[in-house]
A = this chain, B = another copy of it.
Amino acid sequence: MTQNETPDIIVSRLPVYLRALRHMHAQGKHNTSSQELGEWVGVSAAQIRKDLSQFGEFGKQGTGYKIDFLIGKLSEILNIERVWDVAVVGVGDMGHAIARYQGFRDRGFRVAMLFDNDPAKIGETIGSFTVRDGAGMISAIQEAGIQIAMLCVPAAVAQAVANQLVQSGVKAILNYAPISLTVPAGVRVQYLDPSIGLQRMTYYLE
């Protein structure tokens, strides 16, 4: 299976290529080259050609890539031709922002459930959602068959909540809490930690 053969570092670049291609498409462009795409995303043209060649032949020497075709192919490879339901856990400031975030539209995701343990928040309405009691989280996620969660709880409880998510069948956690999580094999974690992005840039500042 391709999943087992392709290094995750290559997989990590595909969503970035896809975002740039969608942006080009929104601007009315129809074709691009590995050179142009590379300039958009800050990766060499050779790297882009090498990355894409892992999955097939998507462009032609000299004429480059048809943007809508490549968007379709990358969406297929990334499994986002469907819409994935996502559970948001922890409805503090960040959870609120995520619940109302418009950026998931057309990108393969839909917030489906919100959970919190705070009695003051349970029952609260955010957009079209009612915040559910975290005590019922495991069974609710299991019943809905949800595989993706966003973790927006404080760092001190993030590991405990992650353990519950794993128990409920979640296979992919986007973690906003500024700590590293330990999860069993077969479960993936990605981090959205603004300090990491900032520290990567302060390296270059004086």
- Which A residues have a C-beta under 8 Å from some C-beta of B? 3, 8, 11-12, 14-16, 18-20, 23, 40-41, 77-80, 84, 86, 92-94, 96-98, 100-101, 103-104, 107-109, 147-148, 150, 155, 171-172, 174, 177-180, 188, 190-206
Contact = CB atoms under 8 A, between A and B. Distances in A.
Given A97-B96, A195-B103, A179 B108 contact: no
A86 B179 CA distance: 22
Contacts of A20: 180
B195 A192 contact: no
Given A147-B205, A172-B205, A195-B108, A190 B180 contact: no
How many copies make up the complex?
2
A11 B199 CA distance: 9
A204 B190 contact: no
A16 B84 CA distance: 28
A195 B93 CA distance: 19
Given A16-B191, A19-B195, A77-B203, 7 more contacts: A79-B202, A84-B202, A86-B198, A103-B193, A148-B202, A172-B204, A188-B201
